[in-house]
Amino acid sequence: MRIAFQAASALILFLAAVVLSAQAAASDTKPPQQVVEDATAGIISELNKLEPEARTEEEVRRLVMTYIVPVIDQEKIAMGALGKYWRRATPEQRQEFIDRFRELQIRTYSGAFKAFSGEQFNFEAPRFSPNGDKALVKGTLMQTTGQTVPVDFRLYLDDETGQWRVYDAIVAGLGMVKTYRDQLTEKLQNISMNELLAELSADATD
């Protein structure tokens, strides 16, 4: 069984891409709500310039490498996706999983970007944790059909960079990282980490 964000629609896959790119537009420290607003506006602007047929694999990779890969905490996302199996993995297996997981996400975003049709977001003011190092930005996706989808963006304050970074999205009650973790946990009950890595590598070349 291929590892994928199987329970989600193309809409939610698009949201996952937007969420994980949310720090891309922040060159100075910005409040969480502005981080999310700037990033979603930036990537939506890029997609609006492209006809669906122009959203090729090469163009999707460019968008992902420009907006997402340089700015996410890949290790934090990988740790969340693997759960307890992260602690059991060797350093070499952890790094290979990060690399393979990134390629999986790029393939996932390809379909999501092609399905984009002009959706927009509205956001509320952030809600902070008691010590101020985590924030929740609640938003609403406005679809072109007039329907709305609730979205929660979860951010943490990176001590090293002083920037707010998104580490998860909850879309209509469905968490991106938890969804991946549930799928991977089910698989790793039956196969080894090396077998999982081999599957991910094969999926990337299909």
Provide the Cα torsion 79, 80, 81, 83; round to 10°: 80
Residue 2 lies in a domain: no
Nearest to 4, CA basis, from 168, 152, 186, 189: 186
Residue 148 lies in a domain: yes
Confidence at 87, pLDDT banded by 50, 70, 90: very high
* Count of domains forming the chain: 1
Residue 194 lies in a domain: yes
pLDDT for 28 equals 61
User: Residue 102 is part of a domain; what is its CATH number?
Assistant: 3.10.450.710
Higher-pLDDT residue of 78 and 40 is 78
Q: Is 164's pLDDT higher than 50?
A: yes
Q: How far apart are CA 94 and CA 177, in angstroms?
A: 16
Q: How far apart are CA 123 and CA 109, in angstroms?
A: 23
Higher-pLDDT residue of 68 and 61 is 61
Q: Is 63's pLDDT higher than 80?
A: no
Mean pLDDT of 101-123: 77
Residue 192 lies in a domain: yes
- Domain range for 63 is 10-205
Least confident of 23-27, 37-41, 42-46, 78-82: 23-27
Residue 98 lies in a domain: yes
Residue 3 lies in a domain: no
The model's pTM is 0.73
Least confident of 53-57, 63-67, 184-188, 198-202: 63-67
